[in-house]
A and B are shown apart, each in its own frame.
Chain A
Amino acid sequence: MLTGWGRTAPSAGRVIDLDGDAVRGAPHEALPIDEGRGAIPRGLGRSYGDPAQNGGGSVLRVLPGRSPISLDRNAATVTADAGVSFDDLLRVLVPAGFFVPVTPGTRFITVGGAIASDIHGKNHHVDGTFGHHCTRISLLTADGELRTLTPADGDLWWATIGGMGLTGLIVDATFDLIPIETSQCLVRTQRIANFDALVDTMAADDQRYSVAWVDLLASGAALGRSVLTCGEHARLDDLSAKQRRDPLAFAPPSLIDVPRGGPNVLSRAAVRAFNEVWYRKARRDHVGPESITGFFHPLDMVGAWNRLYGGAGFLQYQFVVPDDEVDTMRVAIERVVASGHASFLAVLKRFGPANPAMLSFPTSGWTLTLDVPAAASDLHVLLSELDELVLGAGGRHYLAKDAHITPSIVRAGYPRLAEWKAVRRSVDPHGYWISDQARRLGLLEEEVA
Chain B
Amino acid sequence: MNNAVQQPQTILVLGGSSDIGRAIVEALASPALRHVVLAGRSSDPQRPDVSPDVTITTLDFDAGDPTTHRDVVAAAVEAAGDLDVVIQAFGQLGPDAADDPEAAAELVAVNTAGAVSSGLAVAEQLRRQGHGVLVVLSSVAGVRTRGSNFVYGATKAGQDAFATGLHHALHGTGARVLTVRPGFVRTAMTEGLEEVPFTIDPGDVADAVAGGLRRGKSIVWAPGVLRGVFGVLRYAPDAVWRRLDR
Give every chain B residue within 8 A of A243 (Cβ-Cβ).
none
A379 within 8 A of B: yes
Shortest CB–CB separation between residue A150 and chain B, in angstroms? 35
Cβ–Cβ contact B129 & A56, under 8 A: yes
B32 within 8 A of A: yes
Shortest CB–CB separation between residue A254 and chain B, in angstroms? 27
Shortest CB–CB separation between residue A171 and chain B, in angstroms? 25
Q: Could you say which interface size class chain B belongs to?
A: 20 to 34
B2 within 8 A of A: yes
Who on chain B is nearest to A49 by CB? B4
In the complex, identify which listed stretch (A3-11, A100-108, A121-129, A270-278) lies at the interface while the others stay far away: A3-11
A404 within 8 A of B: yes
Shortest CB–CB separation between residue B32 and chain A, in angstroms? 6
Contact of A404 among B32, B174, B214, B216 (CB under 8 A): B32
B156 within 8 A of A: no
Cβ–Cβ contact A11 & B214, under 8 A: no
Contact of A9 among B2, B30, B31 (CB under 8 A): B2
**Chain B 131-149 residues near chain A, CB threshold 8 A:** 131
Count A/B pairs, Cβ under 8 Å: 88
Shortest CB–CB separation between residue B69 and chain A, in angstroms? 20
Cβ–Cβ contact A1 & B1, under 8 A: no
Cβ–Cβ contact B211 & A55, under 8 A: no
Shortest CB–CB separation between residue B167 and chain A, in angstroms? 15
**Do A315 and B131 contact each other (CB < 8 Å), given the known contacts A380-B30, A406-B32?**
no
Give every chain A residue within 8 A of B32 (Cβ-Cβ).
404, 406
Grouping DSSP codes into helix (H, G, I), strand (E, B) and loop, the A interface class, with mixed when no group exceeds half, is loop
Q: Give the docked Cα–Cα distance between A11 and B2 (Å).
A: 10
Cβ–Cβ contact A11 & B3, under 8 A: no
Could you mark each residue 9-53 of chain A with 1 if its beta carbon is under 8 Å from any beta carbon of chain B, else 0? 111110000000000000000000000110000000000011000
A439 within 8 A of B: yes
Contact of B174 among A55, A311, A375 (CB under 8 A): A55
B82 within 8 A of A: yes
Cβ–Cβ contact B82 & A8, under 8 A: no
Shortest CB–CB separation between residue A10 and chain B, in angstroms? 7
Q: Could you say which interface size class chain A belongs to?
A: 35 or more
**Chain B 216-242 residues near chain A, CB threshold 8 A:** 216
Give every chain B residue within 8 A of A36 (Cβ-Cβ).
128
A383 within 8 A of B: yes
A148 within 8 A of B: no
Q: Give the docked Cα–Cα distance between A37 and B81 (Å).
A: 12
Cβ–Cβ contact B128 & A37, under 8 A: yes
Cβ–Cβ contact B214 & A440, under 8 A: no
Cβ–Cβ contact B211 & A56, under 8 A: no
Q: Give the docked Cα–Cα distance between A404 and B7 (Å).
A: 8
A313 within 8 A of B: yes
Cβ–Cβ contact B131 & A403, under 8 A: no
Who on chain B is nearest to A376 by CB? B5
Give every chain A residue within 8 A of B31 (Cβ-Cβ).
384, 387, 406
Give every chain A residue within 8 A of B173 (Cβ-Cβ).
12
A312 within 8 A of B: yes
Cβ–Cβ contact B3 & A12, under 8 A: no
Who on chain B is nearest to A442 by CB? B34
Give every chain A residue within 8 A of B130 (Cβ-Cβ).
11-13, 37, 54-57
Q: Give the docked Cα–Cα distance between A235 and B129 (Å).
A: 54
A436 within 8 A of B: yes
Shortest CB–CB separation between residue A137 and chain B, in angstroms? 28
Q: Give the docked Cα–Cα distance between A11 and B1 (Å).
A: 9
Contact of A55 among B131, B172, B214 (CB under 8 A): B131
State the 9 A-B residue pairs at the shortest beta-carbon distance, nearest first. A55-B130, A12-B174, A403-B4, A8-B4, A56-B130, A11-B131, A404-B3, A12-B130, A440-B1
A residues adjacent to B (C-beta < 8 A): 1, 6, 8-13, 36-37, 49-50, 54-57, 311-313, 315, 374-375, 377, 379-380, 383-384, 387, 403-407, 436-437, 439-440
- Known contacts A9-B1, A12-B174, A439-B81, then 14 further A-B pairs from the complex at CB < 8 Å, ordered by chain A residue: A1-B174, A9-B6, A10-B174, A11-B1, A11-B130, A11-B131, A12-B130, A37-B129, A55-B1, A55-B129, A55-B174, A380-B30, A403-B3, A440-B9
* 26 interchain pairs, CB-CB under 8 A: A8-B3, A9-B131, A10-B131, A11-B174, A12-B130, A36-B128, A50-B1, A55-B82, A55-B131, A55-B174, A56-B127, A56-B128, A56-B174, A312-B216, A374-B5, A380-B7, A384-B31, A387-B31, A403-B3, A403-B4, A404-B7, A406-B32, A436-B1, A439-B1, A439-B82, A440-B1
